[in-house]
Chains A and B, each alone.
Chain A
Amino acid sequence: MPQVTLTVNGKQHTVEVEGRTLLVELLREKLGLTGTHIGCDTSQCGACVVHVDGISVKSCTQLALQADGANVTTIEGLAAADGTLHPMQEMFREHHALQCGFCTPGMVMSAIDLVQSHPEGLSEKEIREGLEGNLCRCTGYHNIVKAIAAAHPLMHAKAAE
Chain B
Amino acid sequence: MGFQGIGASVRRKEDVRFLSGKGNYTDDINRPGQLYAYIKRSDRPHAKINGINVAAASAAPGVVRVFVGGDMAAEGIGGLPCGWQIHSKDGSPMAEPPHPVIAVGKVRHVGDPVAVVIAESKQEAKDAAELIEVDYTDLPAVANLTDAVAAGAPEVHDGVAGNICYDWVIGDKAVVDGVFASAAKIVKLDLTNNRLVPNAMEPRAAIGDFDTSSGDFTLYTTSQNPHVIRLLMGAFVLHIPENKLRVVAPDVGGGFGSKIYHYAEEAIVTWAAGKVRRPVKWTAERSESFMSDAHGRDHVSTAEMALDNEGHFLGLRITTLANMGAYLSTFAPCVPTYLYATLLAGVYKTPVIYCNVKAVFTNTVPVDAYRGAGRPEATYLLERLVDVIAHDTGIDKVELRRKNFIPADAFPYQTPVALQYDSGDYQTTLKVALKTADWDGFEARRTAAKANGKLRGIGISTYLEACGIAPSAVVGSLGARAGLYEVAEIRVHPTGSVTVFTGTHSHGQGHETTLAQLVVSQLGVPFDQVEVVHGDTAKIPFGMGTYGSRSLAVGGSAMVKAMDKVIAKGKKIAAHLMEASVEDIEFKDNTFTVAGTDKSKTLTDISLAAYVPHNYPIEELEPGLDETAFYDPKNFTFPGGCHIAEVEIDPETGVVEMVNFTAVDDVGRVVNPMIVEGQVQGGVAQGIGQALLESAIYDPSGQLLSGSYMDYTMPRADNIPPMSVATENTMCTHNPLGSKGCGEVGAIGSPPAVINAVVDALKDYGVRHLDMPATGSKLWSIIQAARPRMAAE
Contact = CB atoms under 8 A, between A and B. Distances in A.
The answer to whether A and B come from one shared complex is: yes
Interface string B2-26: 0000000001101111111111010
A140 B723 contact: yes
A137 B686 contact: yes
B203 interface: yes
Nearest to A141: B717
Interface string A129-161: 101101111111111110000000000000000
A124 B714 CA distance: 20
Nearest to B507: A100
Contacts of A129: 717-718
Given A36-B21, A128-B717, A142-B720, A100 B123 contact: no
Contacts of B718: 125, 128-129, 131-132
A132 B287 CA distance: 20
Given A132-B716, A143-B681, A37 B286 contact: no
Given A131-B717, A139-B681, A42 B709 contact: yes
Nearest to A85: B19
B708 interface: yes
11 contacts: A38-B203, A39-B203, A42-B287, A93-B19, A99-B678, A100-B507, A139-B685, A142-B681, A142-B685, A142-B722, A145-B717
B768 to A, nearest CB: 30
A58 B426 CA distance: 47
A59 interface: no
Nearest to B22: A35
Contact of A135 (B11, B23, B682, B709): B709
Contacts of B675: 96
Contact of B23 (A35, A39, A40): A35
B708 A41 contact: yes
B252 interface: yes
A122 interface: no
A34 B27 CA distance: 8
B685 A140 contact: yes
Contacts of A142: 681, 685, 720, 722-723
Interface string B661-698: 00000000000001101110111111000000000000
B682 A99 contact: yes
A75 to B, nearest CB: 4
Q: Which 9 A-B pairs have the closest CB atoms?
A: A35-B21, A102-B253, A101-B18, A140-B685, A100-B508, A44-B709, A99-B508, A75-B21, A34-B28
A101 B686 contact: no
Given A38-B27, A76-B21, A105-B19, 12 more contacts: A37-B253, A85-B19, A89-B20, A92-B19, A93-B12, A99-B508, A102-B201, A132-B718, A135-B716, A137-B201, A140-B681, A140-B715
Contact of A138 (B12, B123, B254, B710): B254
A108 to B, nearest CB: 7
A132 B19 contact: no
Contacts of B242: none
Contacts of B200: 100, 102, 137
B291 to A, nearest CB: 12
Contacts of B708: 40-42, 44
Interface of A: 18, 20, 28, 33-42, 44-45, 47, 74-76, 78-79, 85, 89, 92-94, 96, 98-105, 108, 124-125, 127-129, 131-132, 134-145
Contacts of B710: 42, 44
Contacts of B684: 140
Contacts of B12: 93, 96
A133 B720 CA distance: 14
Interface of B: 11-12, 14-23, 25, 27-28, 123, 199-203, 251-254, 256, 283, 285-287, 507-510, 674-675, 677-679, 681-686, 708-710, 714-718, 720, 722-723, 746
Contacts of B507: 100
B20 A137 contact: no
A152 to B, nearest CB: 16
Contacts of A101: 14-15, 17-19, 23, 251, 253, 508
B717 A34 contact: no
Given A40-B286, A40-B708, A102 B202 contact: yes
Nearest to A93: B15
B16 to A, nearest CB: 7
Contacts, number: 179
B249 to A, nearest CB: 12
B510 A40 contact: no
B678 A143 contact: yes
Contacts of A85: 16, 19-20
Contacts of B15: 92-93, 98, 101
A101 to B, nearest CB: 3
B25 A37 contact: yes
A40 B22 CA distance: 20
Contacts of B746: 140
Nearest to B718: A128
A139 B720 CA distance: 11
B199 A99 contact: no
Contacts of A128: 716-718, 720
B115 to A, nearest CB: 20
- Which of A28, A34, A75, A131 is the most central at the interface, judged by chain B CB atoms within 10 Å of its CB? A34
A85 B27 CA distance: 25
Nearest to B709: A44
A140 B201 contact: no
A105 B21 contact: yes
A5 B158 CA distance: 58
B109 to A, nearest CB: 20
B4 to A, nearest CB: 15
A47 to B, nearest CB: 6
- Which of B14, B709, B717 is the most central at the interface, judged by chain A CB atoms within 10 Å of its CB? B717
A37 B202 contact: yes
B202 A132 contact: no
A125 to B, nearest CB: 7
B678 A124 contact: no
Contacts of B23: 35, 101-102
Nearest to B202: A102
- Which of A132, A136, A138 is the most central at the interface, judged by chain B CB atoms within 10 Å of its CB? A138
A149 B677 CA distance: 19
Contacts of A20: 123
Contacts of A74: 21
Contact of A42 (B16, B251, B286): B286
Nearest to A20: B123
A125 B721 CA distance: 10
Contact of B201 (A34, A76, A100): A100
A142 B663 CA distance: 13
B709 A137 contact: no
B669 to A, nearest CB: 19
Nearest to A39: B201
Nearest to A76: B21
Nearest to B680: A140
Nearest to B711: A42
B256 A137 contact: yes
Contacts of A125: 718
A131 B716 contact: yes
A35 B681 contact: no
- Which of B253, B286, B674 is the most central at the interface, judged by chain A CB atoms within 10 Å of its CB? B253
Contacts of B723: 140, 142
A8 B281 CA distance: 27
Contacts of B11: 93-94, 96
Contacts of A103: 201, 253
B674 A96 contact: yes
A103 B254 CA distance: 10
Contacts of A38: 27, 203, 283
Nearest to B203: A39
A40 B711 CA distance: 13
A89 B717 contact: no
A136 B11 CA distance: 20
Contacts of B253: 37, 39, 100-103
B111 to A, nearest CB: 14
A40 B290 CA distance: 10
